Amino acid sequence: MQSLNLIVIGGGAAGIFAAIQAKSQNPKASVILLEKTAVLLAKVRVSGGGRCNVTHSCFQPRKLTEFYPRGSKELLGPFHHFSPQNTIDWFQKRGAKLKTEEDGRIFPVTNRSETIIETLLKEAKQLGVDIRIRQRIENIEKSENGFILSLRDKEPVETQKLILATGSSKEGHAWAQKLGHTIEAPVPSLFTFNVPAFKLQELSGIAVPRAGITIDGTAHTQTGPLLITHFGFSGPAALKLSAWAARTLFEKEYKVKLLINWLPDQTEEESMEQLIQLKANSPRKSLQMENPFSLPKNLWKALCTDPKRLNDLTHKELRSLSTKLHRDPYRVEGKTTHKEEFVTCGGIPRREVDFRTMESKLCPGLHFVGEILDVDGVTGGFNFQNAWTTGYLAGTSV
Ligand SMILES: Cc1cc2nc3c(=O)[nH]c(=O)nc-3n(C[C@H](O)[C@H](O)[C@H](O)COP(=O)(O)OP(=O)(O)OC[C@H]3O[C@@H](n4cnc5c(N)ncnc54)[C@H](O)[C@@H]3O)c2cc1C
């Protein structure tokens, strides 16, 4: 039986990066990467709309951890070892120039994810990582020296160390369970909200620069840019909410009441006061034509449907409008996958892993990197940063 130093299972961002790190630390070690499909780095290719949002320009580890609904505490140490700055340096040193966009997302200057793929695969090849595609692993067993892997139509192989980098794949979870781990049930994260009979449908495409979005009856609330779509709500605020409340939403079968706060930087009382003042100052004007809060014009018209002059609006009517401006209810029934980026919440419980080395606390020699862990970030390059950082730690420690 062939005996190896390290096998990495999974040819995604985390697995390839871990294999590169391991081989660069110890060039004499035998490092093999086994990928089930015929395609390496498939998610890198489609990510960020084909541009690959490699990381985010957030260079303060503690601040960076705030972008992870699951894993923020555990990633603090790892980010001190491999941060977005290390990611940038790593790629730029190998010729992949990166650029930062206004919202902090970092992409290759070429705007092509292929640049990232080529850089990673070239490095792996130069170092001599043995990458094998279309590999069917039928069984993994713990042995005295490490692990024995049974491969379809091939001789079994033995390895001292094993890195599982299989993303959200069920097989990866099953092997981890076999080796003594539990699994946090996987549920989707980063999606948009469907509102049947959406009363704002005609405003599809309008982006509100700042709105609050809350799941009624819970503490889950987010503020930020909100996009009105044909079928409901999207944009950074909605995506952040979907990530932080991923499990709650799953449990509620994506049937919840959302409350939109169109004026999150002031209180309902302040809005009411503003409306009363306006009525006193311009009694003859139509409130609908006034747009006193500078909301997108069509949105204001949809919210303030009463064409009456201000003088003809009762105190009760003004109160009802100010309430609506701060707690506008929408019944959500279902979700839609956000095409630019989605991720799985759940996987290997963080408490079962030593985040200094990414080694299992239950099965010595076994390591986990990337999305197989119960770690996920919001949209913006944070999920790849998790793949690079955990890949780096596992690769250097094995
Ligand atoms: C459409 C889309 C766009 C995205 N865009 C971004 C973005 O712009 N920025 C960002 O930060 N994040 C983005 N993400 C999230 C990011 O792609 C993932 O978090 C990241 O790819 C996880 O890397 P990974 O290596 O852990 O897992 P994966 O990329 O899922 O790789 C796992 C690999 O393991 C292989 N595998 C699975 N089972 C087996 C098996 N039994 N045997 C052998 N191999 C196996 C799979 O085939 C796959 O190649 C996006 C995700 C999607 C789906």
- CATH number (domain holding residue 13): 3.50.50.60
Across the 398 residues of the chain, what is the mean pLDDT of every consecutive 10-residue run? Answer: 91 98 96 98 95 97 98 98 98 98 97 98 98 97 96 93 98 98 98 95 96 98 97 97 98 98 98 97 93 95 92 96 98 93 96 98 98 97 98 97
Distance of CA 87 to the CA centre of its chain: 17
Q: What is the pLDDT of residue 3?
A: 81
Can you tell me which atom of ligand 1 is nearest the CA of 137?
42
pTM of the model: 0.95
335-337/207-215 β-pairing: unpaired
pLDDT at 4: 84
Identify the CA nearest to 325 among candidates 379, 367, 248, 269.
Answer: 269
53 CA from centroid of ligand 1 (Å): 13
Q: Which residues contact 328 (CB under 8 A, 6 or more apart)?
A: 259, 260, 261, 262, 303
pLDDT tens, 351-397? 999 999 999 999 999 999 999 999 999 999 999 999 999 999 999 99
| Same domain membership, residue 177 and residue 227 | no
Question: What is the span of the domain harbouring residue 254?
Answer: 191-337
Are both 266 and 330 inside the same structural domain? yes
Tell me the CA distances in angstroms from 334 to 69, 235, 252, one per residue in order.
Answer: 21, 16, 10
Rounded CA-CA distance 387/398 in Å is 16
Among the candidates 318, 337, 356, a domain finishes at 337
Of the three residues 302, 321, 337, the one that is the final residue of a domain is 337
Total of domains in the chain: 2
Ligand 1 in reach of 164 Cβ (< 6 A): no
Query: 281 near 263, Cβ under 8 Å?
Result: no
Q: Do the beta carbons of residue 230 and residue 217 sit within 8 Å?
A: no
Query: Which one-letter amino acid corresponds to residue 112?
Result: R
Whether residue 219 sits in one domain with residue 368: no
pLDDT of residue 307: 86
Does residue 345 line the site of ligand 1, with CB under 6 A? no
Of 308, 337, 366, which residue sits at a domain end?
337
Among candidate residues 56, 161, 46, the one with its CA nearest the CA of residue 386: 56
Q: Which of 34, 47, 369 to mutate to test the pocket of ligand 1 (most atoms within 8 A of CB)?
A: 47
| One domain for residues 254 and 345 | no
Q: Which of 394, 398, 397, 333 is nearest to 13 (CA)?
A: 394
Same domain, 15 and 162: yes
DSSP state of 309: B
CA of 39 to the centre of ligand 1 (A): 12
Report whether 110 contacts 10 (CB < 8 A). no
Query: For a pocket test of ligand 1, which of 341, 374, 375 has the largest count of ligand atoms closer than 8 A to its C-beta?
Result: 341
Residues 30, 148: one domain?
yes
Q: For residue 12, report the distance from its CA to the centre of ligand 1, in Å.
A: 5
Q: DSSP per residue over 112-178, as a string?
A: -HHHHHHHHHHHHHHHT-EEE-S--EEEEEE-SSSEEEEETTS--EEEEEEEE--TT-HHHHHHHHH
Considering the domain architecture, whether residues 70 and 117 belong to the same structural domain is answered as yes
Instruction: Say if residue 306 is in the same domain as residue 350.
Output: no
Residues 63 and 128 in one domain: yes
Same domain, 34 and 112: yes
Residue 394 Cβ contacting ligand 1 at under 6 Å: no
- CA distance to 225, 227, 295, 332, 353, per residue, from 209 (Å): 4, 9, 9, 22, 40
Do residues 315 and 388 share a domain?
no
Both 158 and 283 in one domain: the answer is no
